[in-house]
């Protein structure tokens, strides 16, 4: 599947989600969409893993992609599709995940 189609499907899915009352559950749902590209617990070829990053690092990177300070076509699409609150929720959720050893 070409990356652009991938990103489009991602956004369609995001739009379809209802508003969640529980930010932690919402963070988990948002993070599930990241795992299609990012290995959350392992290293994916060519795509940096998110495991082990601190909340501030994830949030700053997403904000940098969002404003174009850091350039990546894919991550710009991903980050601009998230509201600042969602960036906060998904960063908090991802940073709270435990690093698991890879086999
Ligand atoms: C369609 C594939 C794709 C999806 C979906 C995706 N990413 Fe990414 N992400 C990438 C790629 C490719 C890069 C490397 C971009 C670059 O060169 O800076 C990246 C980079 C990042 C970085 C920087 C990592 C570092 O080590 O500096 C963060 C943080 C990040 N993504 C978070 C997320 C989050 C959070 C989500 C879900 C909301 C997400 N990404 C969804 C492909 C994706």
Distance CA 52, CA 56 (A): 12
Q: Which of 78, 87, 91, 93 to mutate to test the pocket of ligand 1 (most atoms within 8 A of CB)?
A: 78
Distance 29 CA to ligand 1 centre (A): 16
Query: Residue 17 falls within a domain, yes or no?
Result: no
Residue with CA closest to ligand 1 atom 26: 48
Distance CA 98, CA 62 (A): 20
**Domain that residue 62 falls in:** 22-96
Give the tens place of pLDDT for each residue, 10-54: 555 555 555 556 878 899 999 988 988 887 665 666 788 887 899
Query: Residue 102 falls within a domain, yes or no?
Result: no
Q: Which of 38, 36, 37, 23 is CA-nearest to residue 86?
A: 23
Give the tens place of pLDDT for each residue, 44-87: 667 888 878 999 999 999 999 999 999 999 999 999 999 999 99
Number of domains comprising the chain: 1
Give the tens place of pLDDT for each residue, 10-21: 555 555 555 556
């Amino acid at each position: 599947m070409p990356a652009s189609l991938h990103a489009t499907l991602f956004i369609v899915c995001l739009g379809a989600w209802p508003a969640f009352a529980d930010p932690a559950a919402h963070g988990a749902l948002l993070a599930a969409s990241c795992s299609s590209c990012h290995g959350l617990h392992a290293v994916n070829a060519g795509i940096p893993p998110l495991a082990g990053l601190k909340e501030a690092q994830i949030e700053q990177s997403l904000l940098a992609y969002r404003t174009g300070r850091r350039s990546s076509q894919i991550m710009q699409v991903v980050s601009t599709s998230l509201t600042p609150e969602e960036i906060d929720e998904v960063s908090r959720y991802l940073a709270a995940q435990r690093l698991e050893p890879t086999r």
